[in-house]
Amino acid sequence: MGTSVLSLRMDHVLLERLRHHAAKRGMSVQDYVVRTLIRTDFDERFQSAVEETEKFYGLT
């Protein structure tokens, strides 16, 4: 699997908040953002799978 670059423009306040959250976890801002995106993506895929399963079994 290769990697790609994503460039973000954000205001100073948001960047400082991200730095603070990342530092509490001993992470870089980049690692913190990537892990947050991965976690969100997993949560969305998991919820979608649950909904599909409920539809399949007629639970909704």
**32 backbone dihedrals φ, ψ, rounded to 5°:** -60, -45
Q: What per-residue confidence (pLDDT) applies to 42?
A: 85
Give the residue with greater pLDDT, 55 vs 11. 11
Q: What per-residue confidence (pLDDT) applies to 43?
A: 87
Domain spans in the chain, listed from the N-terminal domain onward: 30-59
Q: What per-residue confidence (pLDDT) applies to 57?
A: 86
For the entire predicted model, the pTM comes to 0.68
**Whether 34 contacts 40, CB under 8 Å:** no
Size of the chain, expressed as the number of residues it contains: 60
pLDDT tens column, 4-39: 888 889 999 999 999 999 999 999 999 999 999 888
**Whether 42 contacts 35, CB under 8 Å:** no
